[in-house]
Chains A and B, each alone.
Chain A
Amino acid sequence: MTCAEVTPLIGAYYDGELDAARASAIDAHVASCQSCAGDLETLRQVSAELRHAPYYRAPDALVRRVAPARPRASLANRWGWLAAAAAVVLTTATALVLWQRPGAETLTADAVVGSHVRSLMAQHLVDVESTDRHTVKPWFAGRVEFSPIVVDLASDGFPLTGGRLDYVQDHPAAALVYHRREHAINVFVWPESGERPRSDRDDSRGYHLVTWTHGGMTYWVISDLARPELDDFASKLNAAVAGS
């Protein structure tokens, strides 16, 4: 392999995503090529440093210029909350009146998106802040009439941030908040009978959702996290809940 062939593959090689044939060809090349070996070492070092580097959030002024119709989290105020809630209600009501009635799951999905966005906008992500499920789970006792299963996924890279009492379509829901890097993941849970197989949906506003009903509870997982990672989270959550 030549350096020109190796360079575009070096990221995938580092991630262990290359097939065996190309990986060993690169092994061989790197062993004798200082330049490519240097690239690889740079990749290792910079990746490691970046893991502890700041994630630069878009400044408010920029957000306002780009999306003037959607004021964002740090401008949180009561009117912003009401306007967002009104927008969700109005959109749903309009959909009902003007078009074919959307399915029940779609209505719930819209409500879940609304609750998720509100939890981010009002900077009210958690009522109980703890990475320990033994603190979060009992907090819900007396606040909701069911006991949500709270699992620990920190070793999978999804630390628990806390819990929140929320509402979805006028019924109380437990919201379990996890994080993956800077991305908040809301897991809405409430009691529901029956079995509903897992389904995925992508909200047009950029949120990814996964939902299922099993063991007397309905789960709605929502985040702006990229789909492959969210799917990974949902699978691990499902397995951990089933196993407890």
Chain B
Amino acid sequence: MSDDFLVPHLDAAFNLARWMMGNAADAEDVVQEACVRALAAADRFRGGDRRAWVLAIVRNTCYSSFRGRKVRQTTDFDEAQHSDESRSVSPEHAVLTGERAARVQAAVAALTPEFREAIVLREFEGLSYK
């Protein structure tokens, strides 16, 4: 079965997971798990916004994580260390460094997961609160 339908949404999936989980390692675990679920559920997709469907699976996987699995308590404040993370720079978004990055991370982490999710989806994907 082709996993092509996932590729265009991997960045969005990882970004959501990264903000929800607070660190890259947990985010990777979540995305991987979410992809397994998405492939298994692929024939249940009845059309509509594929991205929103994938992100819903990612979000549910985050919540499963909160409830059950071991979650690393650390939040990565210093993103510049991780070489892969440097690819995060995009045309519209300046790199947040030091104090400001820490503040945003902490502000988002302090929100309840539901709130966090709503804000991230709204700001990054233009998906309205549903």
A: residues with CB less than 8 A from B are 11-12, 15, 17, 39, 42-43, 45-47, 49-63, 65-67, 69-70, 72, 74, 159, 161, 179-182, 202, 204-207, 224-229
Contact = CB atoms under 8 A, between A and B. Distances in A.
B104 interface: yes
B119 A63 contact: no
Contact of A56 (B14, B94, B103, B104): B14
User: Chain B binding site: helix, strand, loop or mixed by DSSP?
Assistant: helix
A54 B88 CA distance: 6
Given A45-B107, A61-B84, A62-B28, A52 B94 contact: yes
A26 to B, nearest CB: 13
A63 B119 CA distance: 25
A206 B7 contact: yes
B56 interface: no
A128 to B, nearest CB: 15
Contacts of A58: 10-11, 13-14, 31
B31 A15 contact: no
B11 A66 contact: no
A125 B32 CA distance: 28
A31 to B, nearest CB: 21
A17 B107 CA distance: 25
Contacts of B11: 55-58, 182
Contacts of B89: 54
B71 interface: no
Given A57-B87, A205-B5, A206-B51, A47 B94 contact: no
Contacts of B120: 50
B29 to A, nearest CB: 10
A63 B10 contact: yes
B119 to A, nearest CB: 5
Interface string B69-108: 0000000000100001101111111111000010110011
A12 B79 contact: no
